[in-house]
């Protein structure tokens, strides 16, 4: 089992001043960007790509890469937690991953079951709250029960929320929110961006500030299409099983240097240009 990264007391987290406001905003479903926010992202989303190539480089089957990927994920949770990130959302299985060979799909499913039983107690003890997003209707009963158990056991934790996107797709998310509007008979005028945000799978979290993809590809692959509208994007060649503290720090450093304007301009810039 990987060693836990040191964790700061809550009051010393880089984000301590913003935590109460973040939680209140998330609870109320308001996910407005805060341009003046601290430079540690509240919410990081990750496409954990490159497990297959990592295994191939070692003449091993793809499953071996996914197995290493689970350990890399546990290390990443520790590291993001220690740096004050409040939400970590990872793409573990996409709506499109069913197209992979049956053997790989069932390998991934069993890996999740093994991963949950191996690491749930550790994560629960570290204060990690686990939430699952995605279509649960088409996964096995065993997997559904494992997710339910992970959510139930960790529901009172409040250090970092790990959101596992499983059988998830950004387009699925928009469609399921629209279907709920229709099913509830909501008037068309009442469906606006706030309403939709409150009915999307990540309604309990602020939008991701930083969107990371490992493995060298530069695309979003149907992950959090709605929520990542103003996320800062960070792409790295590093393959997911190798994504460790140095790579996390590189991503957080790049994020801290970004100028987030959310479609507006800085007040200082406006004042300068007015004179």
Q: Supply the residues annotated as catalytic.
A: 49, 97
Q: Which stretch binds ligand FPP (CB under 6 A): 110-118, 128-136, 169-177, 181-189?
A: 110-118
Among 44, 77, 92, 150, binds ligand FPP (CB under 6 A): 92
CB-wise, 53 or 144, nearer to ligand FPP?
53
Q: Is residue 73 involved in binding ligand FPP (CB under 6 A)?
A: yes
Minimum Å gap between C-beta 162 and ligand FPP is: 8
* Torsion angle defined by CA atoms of residues 83, 114, 66 and 47, in that order, rounded to the nearest 10 degrees: -40
Question: What does the buried/exposed string (b/e) look like for 191-222 if buried means 16 or more CB atoms within 10 Å of the residue's CB?
Answer: eeeeebbebbbbbbbbbbbbbbbbbeeeebeb
DSSP state of 206: P
CB-based closest residue to ligand FPP: 52
Determine the Cα–Cα distance for residues 32 and 215; give it in Å rounded to an integer: 30
Question: Are residues 236 and 250 in contact, defined by beta-carbon separation less than 8 angstroms?
Answer: yes
78 in contact with ligand FPP (CB under 6 A): no
Determine if 70 is a binding residue for ligand FPP (CB under 6 A): yes
Closest CA to 104 of 61, 136, 139: 61
Phi-psi bin for 216: left (phi > 0), alpha (psi -120 to 50), beta? Answer: left
- Pick the stretch among 3-11, 16-24, 111-119, 148-156 that binds ligand FPP (CB under 6 A): 111-119
Measured distance CA(101)–CA(253) in Å, rounded: 38
Tokens 């706030």 belong to residue: 194
Minimum CB separation of residue 204 from ligand FPP in Å reads 18
Share in percent of the chain as helix, strand, coil (round to 5): 50, 15, 40
Q: Does 69 bind ligand FPP (CB under 6 A)?
A: yes
Q: Does 170 bind ligand FPP (CB under 6 A)?
A: no
CB of 105 to ligand FPP, least distance (A): 10
Within a 10 A sphere around the Cβ of 41, how many other Cβ atoms?
A: 29
Q: Does 49 bind ligand FPP (CB under 6 A)?
A: yes
CB of 255: closest distance to ligand FPP in angstroms? 22
97 binds ligand FPP (CB under 6 A): yes
Q: Which of 52, 84, 107, 134 binds ligand FPP (CB under 6 A)?
A: 52
Residues 213-242 close enough to bind ligand FPP by CB under 6 A: 215
# residues near ligand FPP by CB under 6 A: 18
Residues lying near ligand FPP in the complex (CB under 6 A) are found at 48-53, 66, 69-70, 73, 92, 97, 111-112, 115-116, 164, 215
């Amino acid at each position: 089992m990987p060693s836990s990264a040191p964790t700061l007391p809550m009051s010393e987290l880089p984000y301590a001043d913003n935590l109460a406001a973040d939680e209140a905003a998330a609870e109320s479903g308001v996910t407005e960007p805060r341009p003046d926010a601290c430079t540690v992202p509240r919410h990081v989303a990750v496409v954990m790509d490159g497990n297959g190539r990592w295994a191939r480089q070692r003449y091993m089957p793809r499953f071996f890469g996914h197995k290493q990927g689970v350990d890399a994920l546990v290390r990443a949770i520790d590291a993001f937690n220690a740096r004050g990130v409040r939400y970590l959302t990872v793409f573990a299985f996409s709506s499109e991953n069913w197209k992979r060979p049956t053997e790989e799909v069932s390998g991934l499913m069993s890996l999740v079951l093994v991963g949950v039983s191996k690491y749930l107690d550790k994560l629960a003890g570290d204060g990690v709250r686990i939430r699952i997003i995605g279509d649960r209707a088409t996964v096995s009963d065993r997997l559904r029960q494992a997710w339910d158990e992970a959510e139930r056991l960790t529901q009172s934790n409040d250090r970092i929320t790990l959101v596992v996107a499983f059988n998830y797709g950004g387009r699925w998310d928009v469609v399921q929110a629209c279907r709920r509007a229709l099913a509830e008979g909501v008037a068309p005028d009442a469906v606006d961006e706030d309403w939709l945000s409150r009915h999307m799978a990540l309604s309990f979290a602020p939008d991701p500030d930083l969107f990371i993809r490992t493995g060298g590809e530069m695309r979003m692959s149907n992950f959090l299409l709605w929520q990542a509208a103003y996320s800062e994007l960070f792409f790295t060649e590093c393959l997911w099983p190798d994504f460790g503290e140095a790579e996390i720090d590189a991503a957080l450093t790049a994020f801290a240097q970004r100028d987030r304007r959310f479609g507006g301009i800085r007040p200082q810039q406006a004042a300068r240009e007015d004179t």
